[in-house]
Amino acid sequence: MEAITQQIIFWILGITTITAAIGVIAASNTINSVMSLLVVMLAAAGFYMLMGAPVVALFQIIIYVGAVLVLFLFIIMLLNPDATGLSMSRKLSVWMAGIVSVGMTVVIGWIFWQSATQTNMQNVMKNHVCSCTIHDISVVLFSRHLLIFELTSLLLLVAAVGALLMTKKTREDRS
């Protein structure tokens, strides 16, 4: 019973994700595109939930739905690219999309190949069935993965500085 329910939820989420992902690239209106991306993010949170990782699912929603996509929506509404004709040239965007998607396919394919061939990877997956509480996650994060945690703050620092520099007026704007 449990397994069948999970299967059904998995397929619903999967179909939703793919449909919405197609919507992201196919939508002619930028707002529709962002809202499709929102559905993709929510479905991804659903996947995490299904895998028994509610904490990751909530992080996904807090950061992507609550912050990153709000930023996207803000920018699109601010610039109003559909009305002001402010969009990247078609040729350039096709090229960039091509490079990114080929790169992602290679990376994901490599991970698939690794997990399918290497038995120790499969053992890792089997042995790490998550039954941990949020306390355990916190303890592991702040002891074993300490360096990554501190590096995150550096990354955020760079992001903040970059964002502020981008909005600075250049000499041409002033004159």
Partner 1 sequence: MAPSLSLFVYTLLVVGTAVAIILLSHFLGKRPLTDEKTIPYECGMDPLDTRKHRFSIKYYIVALLFVIFDVEIVFIYLWAISVRDMGLFGLLEMFIFVGILLVAFVYAWIKGGLTWES
Partner 2 sequence: MIVNIIGELLKIIIIFSVIMGIVAYMTLMERRFLGFFQLRLGPNRVGPGGLLQPIADGIKLLFKEDMTVLHARSFYFILAPIISFVAVLLCFAVIPFSGTMYITDLSVAVLYLMAISSAGVYGVLLGGWSSNNKYSTLGAYRAAAQMISYEIPMALALAGVLILSGSMSLVDIVNAQKGLWYIVMQPVGFLIFFIAVSAETNRTPFDFLECENELVAGYQTEYSSMKFGMFYMAEYAHILLASCLITVFFLGGWNGPVLPALVWFFAKVFAVFFLFVWIRATYPRLRYDQLMAFSWKFLLPLAFLNLMISAVLVVALH
CA distance 163 to 42: 26
CB of 85 to partner 1, least distance (A): 10
Site size toward partner 2, by CB under 8 A: 19
Q: Distances from the Cα of 10 to the Cαs of 18, 50, 172, in angstroms?
A: 12, 8, 53
Dmax (CA) for the chain in angstroms is 70
**Partner that binds at residue 65, options partner 1, partner 2, none, CB closer than 5 to 8 Å by kind:** partner 2
Complex with partner 1: residue 63 or 121, whichever CB lies closer: 63
> Which of 8, 22, 75, 77 is close enough to bind partner 2 by CB under 8 A?
77
* 3-class DSSP assignment, residue 145: coil
- Residues of this chain that interact with partner 2 (CB under 8 A) are 31, 35, 38, 54-55, 58-59, 61-62, 65-67, 70, 73-74, 77-78, 133-134
